[in-house]
Structure formats: structure tokens, C-alpha cells
Amino acid sequence: MKFNRLIDHTLLAPNATEEDINRVVTEAIENNFHTVMVNPYWVRKVHDALKDTDVVTACVIGFPLGANTTRIKTLEAQDAINNGVDELDMVMNVGEMKSGHYEKVANDIKSVVETGHKANKIVKVILETCLLSDEEITKAAKIAADQGADFVKTSTGFSTKGATVHGVELMSEAVKDTPTQVKASGGIHTPEEAAALVKAGATRLGVSHSLDIIAKDSVLS
């Protein structure tokens, strides 16, 4: 299986240097990955570096906890749009989801989705599945789909666990009658793991060890 166009080539480490950013951009171009996924600070640099390529720029919003106010998430999304982002991966308000305050969760997602869609950008919603029960994963995925999210996404990669086949299956089932797709991210290190997640329903993969997934020697630690 060729994974290249499924991969969001990701570098979200807080200690990522300009040299590291340049490296992932080069790797993404050379291997025709779908996006380069970075923190908002690096969006302008990545956008400029990816001009005239088939690789697009993505960044995280409300990352990694999802506990920013909706206003801050929306402003952060708009700032990233102004800097040239193509895809936005926002973190759901996990605490409100665990509290059962579904309307607040929906409104938070809706605000960022509407901001992104006004500018014709893709918006993904990170559920942080490792912190949710099966029932909460299903409910959260449906809430995100109802707000028009382009993708629901498993994980930040900064919590207790990353993507699982079971989580992806639950999300895929929850959004199966909608246009919303599923992104698996966090802890994907081998082609076998990637293939299992795709089989479970993922159509995008968030990966930092992308060169390992496509069976090339990684230059990233």
C-alpha cells in the first residue's frame, strides 16, 4: 500500500528548530506527502516553502489540550488562515465533552469550522480518544460531523495514547452516513500499523515517522 498521499507529515515538538522545519518540508516535497503539519508559529514559513508544490500547509489549533476559549481558538484559526494555512486541526474541548455539555462542545467546534470554511479551508477535529469512553468517542464524532467538520481525528499524540484500530472503527461507524472522514494520528510507527488503521476506516494519517511508514530511512529522531 502506498501511504504517501494519506500522510500529514507532522512536526509539533516544542523544541523544533528552523532547521527541523526545513527538513520536514523537504521530506514532504520529495515524498509527495499530503501536508506538512506544524504549530501555528511556523505556518507562514511552511506556506512560503511549499508554494508551487502539491503539498499543503496544516497546523493545530487549541493544541494540545483543547481548553482554550472558543474565541481564542477562532482567532488562532483566523491568524493561521491569514498566514497561508490550508488545513486546520483543532482540539475539541475534552473537559466539556466529559462533562456531558454537548452543546458547548458543538458550539466550540462550529465556530472554528465556520471560520475555516469561510476561507475554503479543511477543518479536522481532534477528539483525544484515549481520554474518552467508547460511547463518548461515538458521540463526539457525531457532534463534529453535525457541525460540518471535514475530518474527525483520533489524537494529539501528546496524551496517554495515540490512535487505535478500535477507536478508528468507532469513529468511522459514527460518521459513515456523512461527508466527514477519519484521520488517525499518534503512535503510528510502522507500515503495518498504518495499514491496519486505513483498513479500519482512516483516510488520513498524522505521522512524524513518515519515512519509516513508506519504508525509507528516517532522518528525524
pLDDT tens-place string over residues 163-212? 999 999 999 999 999 999 999 999 999 999 999 999 999 999 999 999 99
- Residue of 121, 139, 142, 153 marked catalytic: 153
Measured CA to CA in angstroms, residue 84 lies from 53, 57, 157, 161, 169 at distances of: 14, 7, 24, 31, 33
Q: Is 89 an active-site residue?
A: yes
- Residue 60 amino acid letter: V
Say if residue 31's pLDDT is above 90.
Answer: yes
Q: Residue 43: name the closest of 91, 9, 75, 87 by CA.
A: 87
Distance CA 202, CA 214 (A): 17
Range of the domain at 108: 4-213
Question: Does 126 fall in a domain?
Answer: yes
**pLDDT score of 219:** 40
Number of independent structural domains in the chain: 1
Say if residue 221's pLDDT is above 80.
Answer: no
Question: Does 221 fall in a domain?
Answer: no
Question: Does 103 fall in a domain?
Answer: yes
- Residue of 86, 89, 150, 212 marked catalytic: 89
Percent of the chain having pLDDT more than 90? Answer: 96
Say if residue 216's pLDDT is above 70.
Answer: no
Q: Is 153 an active-site residue?
A: yes
CATH code: domain of residue 118: 3.20.20.70
Question: What pLDDT band is residue 94 in, cutting at 50, 70 and 90?
Answer: very high
Say if residue 218's pLDDT is above 90.
Answer: no
Question: Does 149 fall in a domain?
Answer: yes
Question: Does 188 fall in a domain?
Answer: yes
- Report pLDDT digits (tens) over 131-171: 999 999 999 999 999 999 999 999 999 999 999 999 999 99
Question: Does 46 fall in a domain?
Answer: yes
- Residue of 73, 121, 124, 183 marked catalytic: 183
* The model's pTM: 0.96
**pLDDT score of 26:** 98
Question: Does 220 fall in a domain?
Answer: no
Q: Residue 133: name the closest of 106, 182, 94 by CA.
A: 94
